[in-house]
C-alpha cells in the first residue's frame, strides 16, 4: 500500500486535534483491522521519516522496511510489527512536535495512539511479560517495598551487584539501570504529621490558592522530599496544600503496557475523590509531569464524555504552571535569598506535550543571578523503558545528547521535572553528579 501523494497538501494548516481513544469498541482489539491500520500508518511514515531520531521505534520500523525483500511496508512480516510497538514508550512527541499528518489532516496519523492500541491488543492476548506487569504495579510494589522491615532489604537488593545480576536474569531488569530507592516514611505519612492550620487563601489568574497535592506513587514512596519541597514553597507563597484522603496510582504505568482496564480502575478510584475536592474549591497539583498528563490528556481521551474527568482535567496543574499563573497577578514571592547560578535544565517529554510553555525555566529565572540552560530532548527513561534489560542500552543512547549538553554546560546544578529522567541522566553522567528537582531548587533559592 502506498501513501496517497497527489492532491494532498504537505501537512495540515489547522491546529492539531486528537480523536478520543476508541478503546471500548470491540473492533479496537481485533487483530486484523489493527494490522491494516499499522500497515497504512507505517507506509506514511516510510514516505516521511521525519521522526527517525526521536526514539527507537522509527529506526526499528525503517530497518524492517529497508531490509525487507520489497523495501516497502508490504515486504515486512506482520509478526514483526510488534518490534516497533515495543520500542514506543508513548512519550507523544511524534504526535505533538513532528507529525504534519495528524488530524484534521485527512491521513489521520496518530502514531502514539496506534502504538497504544497495539499494546492493548498484546496485553489482552496475555503476551505482556510478567516483568512488565510487576514494574508497572507501582502502587502495590511501593506499598510492599516501603514496609519498614522490608525497605532496607529492597534498597540493598537494588544496589548490590550480585542481586542486580540475578534481577537481570530472573526478571529482565538491567543491572546498570538506576532503580529508585524506597522510603518507609512516605510523603503521605510525612504530610499527615503537619499541624492542621490552614492558610488564608487568595485566588489569582484562574487559580484558587488552595491545592490538593496528588502525591503520586513515585513522590510518595521514592522521593518524598520533592513533595515536601513543594509544600514549603507553596505555603511560602500563600497557597494552602492538603492531601486527598485517598489516592491510587494515576494509571500511567498501566497505560504504558496497554492494560486499559487497570487504567479504568485507577480512574474509578481517583476521579470521584478529586472531582469532589475540585467542586469544594481545591485545585490539584502533582510533582511528576506524567501523572499530571494522565489527568490532563490521557483520561479525557479514554473517557471523553465523563463530566467528572472533564472537571478534574480543568482543575489539575503542573506546579510551575500554577506558580507562574499566580505570578501574573503579583502573587509569587520573589524575595529570594540565594542565587542558583547556572542550571542545566531538562524539560521532560510529558511536560512539553502539556503545551504550557517552559514555566519551570521561567520561574527559576526569576531568581537573581540564575541562568537556566534549557535542554529539550527525550531522556529515554520513559517510565520503565530504561530499566528493561533489552532496552536499557537503547535508552542510554537516546539520553546521550542530554548528557553531552550537561557535561558541556558545566552548571552548578542539573535538573529535570521528571525525577526518573533526572536519574537516567545521572546514569549517563556515570553518577558523577546528582539531579536536583526544580522544586528543591526553588526551596534552596528561598532559603527554606
Q: Which residues bind ligand SF4 (CB under 6 A)?
A: 44-45, 48-51, 54-55, 57-58, 88-94, 98-99, 101, 109, 111-112, 115
84: number of CA atoms within 13 Å, CB side? 30
Q: How far is the CB of 135 from ligand SF4 (least distance, A)?
A: 17
Buried b (16+ CB within 10 A) or exposed e, 350-384: bbbbbebebbbbebbbbbeebbbbebebbbbbbbb
Q: How far is the CB of 115 from ligand SF4 (least distance, A)?
A: 6
Cell of 428: 549517563
Task: Between 315 and 416, name the residue whose CB sits nearer to ligand SF4.
Answer: 416
Q: How far is the CB of 394 from ligand SF4 (least distance, A)?
A: 11
Among candidate residues 409, 382, 379, 414, the one with its CA nearest the CA of residue 397: 379
> Is the CB of residue 390 less than 8 Å from the CB of residue 87?
no
Please tell me the distance from the alpha carbon of residue 108 to that of residue 282, in angstroms, as a whole number.
37
Q: How far is the CB of 378 from ligand SF4 (least distance, A)?
A: 7
Evaluate the omega torsion of the peptide bond into residue 104 and state whether it is cis, within 30 degrees of 0.
yes
- Distance, CA of 398 to chain centre: 16
Task: Between 44 and 343, name the residue whose CB sits nearer to ligand SF4.
Answer: 44
Task: Between 312 and 402, name the residue whose CB sits nearer to ligand SF4.
Answer: 402
Helix ranges restricted to H, 328-391:
349-352, 359-364
Among candidate residues 375, 382, 376, the one with its CA nearest the CA of residue 343: 375
Q: How far is the CB of 232 from ligand SF4 (least distance, A)?
A: 34
> Is the CB of residue 43 less than 8 Å from the CB of residue 111?
no
Task: Between 107 and 234, name the residue whose CB sits nearer to ligand SF4.
Answer: 107
Among candidate residues 363, 285, 357, the one with its CA nearest the CA of residue 331: 363
Q: How far is the CB of 106 from ligand SF4 (least distance, A)?
A: 13
Task: Between 108 and 157, name the residue whose CB sits nearer to ligand SF4.
Answer: 108
Task: Between 107 and 317, name the residue whose CB sits nearer to ligand SF4.
Answer: 107
Task: Between 282 and 391, name the residue whose CB sits nearer to ligand SF4.
Answer: 391
Cell of 152: 532496607
Q: How far is the CB of 272 from ligand SF4 (least distance, A)?
A: 30
Please tell me the distance from the alpha carbon of residue 348 to that of residue 398, in angstroms, as a whole number.
13
Q: Edge-to-edge strand order for the sheet containing 283-285?
A: 240-243, 210-213, 283-285, 316-317
Q: How far is the CB of 4 from ligand SF4 (least distance, A)?
A: 13
Please tell me the distance from the alpha carbon of residue 196 to that of residue 359, in angstroms, as a whole number.
30
Task: Between 351 and 411, name the residue whose CB sits nearer to ligand SF4.
Answer: 351
Q: How far is the CB of 19 from ligand SF4 (least distance, A)?
A: 15
Secondary structure (DSSP) of 48-85: H-TTTTT-SHHHHHHHHHHTSSSSSGGGS-GGGHHHHH
Interhelix angle for 111-124 vs 31-48, to 10°?
Answer: 150
> Which residues are within 8 A (CB) of 131 and not within 5 positions of it... i.e. 6 or more apart?
171, 172, 173, 388
Q: How far is the CB of 392 from ligand SF4 (least distance, A)?
A: 15
Task: Between 49 and 198, name the residue whose CB sits nearer to ligand SF4.
Answer: 49
Task: Between 116 and 141, name the residue whose CB sits nearer to ligand SF4.
Answer: 116
Amino acid at each position: 500500500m502506498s501513501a496517497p501523494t497527489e492532491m494532498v497538501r504537505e501537512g495540515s494548516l489547522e491546529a492539531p486535534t486528537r480523536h478520543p481513544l476508541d478503546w471500548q469498541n470491540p473492533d479496537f482489539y481485533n487483530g486484523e483491522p489493527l494490522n491494516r491500520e499499522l500497515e497504512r500508518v507505517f507506509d506514511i511514515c516510510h514516505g516521511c521519516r521525519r521522526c527517525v531520531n526521536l526514539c527507537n521505534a522509527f529506526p526499528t520500523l525503517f530497518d524492517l522496511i529497508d531490509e525487507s525483500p520489497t523495501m516497502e511496508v508490504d515486504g515486512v512480516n506482520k509478526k514483526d510489527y510488534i518490534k516497533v510497538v515495543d520500542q514506543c514508550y508513548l512519550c507523544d512527541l511524534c504526535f505533538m512536535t513532528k507529525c504534519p499528518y495528524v488530524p484534521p489532516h485527512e491521513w489521520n496519523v496518530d502514531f502514539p495512539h496506534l502504538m497504544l492500541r497495539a499494546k492493548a491488543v498484546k496485553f489482552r492476548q496475555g503476551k505482556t511479560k510478567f516483568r512488565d506487569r510487576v514494574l508497572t504495579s507501582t502502587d502495590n510494589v511501593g506499598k510492599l517495598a516501603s514496609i519498614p522491615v522490608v525497605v532496607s532489604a529492597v534498597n540493598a537488593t537494588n544496589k548490590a551487584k550480585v542481586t542486580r545480576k540475578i534481577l537481570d536474569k530472573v526478571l529482565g531488569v538491567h543491572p546498570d539501570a538506576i532503580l529508585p530507592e524506597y522510603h518507609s516514611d512516605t510523603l503521605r505519612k510525612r504530610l499527615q504529621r503537619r499541624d492542621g492550620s490552614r492558610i488564608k487563601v487568595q485566588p489569582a489568574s484562574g487559580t484558587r490558592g488552595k491545592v490538593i497535592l496528588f502525591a503520586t506513587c513515585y513522590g510518595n514512596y521514592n522521593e518524598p522530599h520533592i513533595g515536601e519541597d513543594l509544600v514549603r514553597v507553596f505555603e511560602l507563597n500563600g497557597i494552602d496544600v492538603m492531601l486527598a484522603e485517598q489516592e491510587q496510582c494515576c494509571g500511567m504505568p498501566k497505560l504504558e503496557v496497554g492494560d486499559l482496564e487497570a487504567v479504568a480502575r485507577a480512574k474509578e478510584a481517583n476521579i470521584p475523590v478529586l472531582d469532589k475536592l475540585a467542586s469544594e474549591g481545591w485545585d490539584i497539583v502533582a510533582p511528576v509531569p506524567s501523572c499530571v498528563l494522565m489527568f490532563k490528556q490521557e483520561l479525557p481521551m479514554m473517557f471523553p464524555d465523563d463530566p467528572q474527568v472533564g472537571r478534574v482535567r480543568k482543575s489539575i496543574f503542573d506546579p510551575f504552571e500554577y506558580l507562574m499563573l499566580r505570578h501574573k497577578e503579583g502573587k509569587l514571592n520573589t524575595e529570594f535569598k540565594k542565587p542558583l547560578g547556572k542550571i542545566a535544565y531538562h524539560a521532560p517529554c510529558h511536560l512539553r506535550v502539556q503545551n504550557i510553555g517552559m514555566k519551570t525555566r521561567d520561574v527559576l529565572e526569576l531568581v537573581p543571578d540564575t541562568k537556566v540552560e534549557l535542554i529539550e530532548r527525550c531522556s529515554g527513561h520513559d517510565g520503565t523503558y530504561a530499566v528493561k534489560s533489552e532496552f536499557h542500552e537503547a535508552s542510554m543512547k537516546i539520553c546521550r545528547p542530554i548528557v553531552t549538553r550537561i557535561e558541556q554546560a558545566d552548571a552548578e546544578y542539573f535538573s529535570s521535572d521528571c525525577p526518573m529522567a533526572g536519574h537516567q541522566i545521572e546514569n549517563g553522567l556515570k553518577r558523577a553528579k546528582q539531579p536536583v528537582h526544580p522544586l528543591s531548587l526553588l526551596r534552596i533559592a528561598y532559603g527554606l
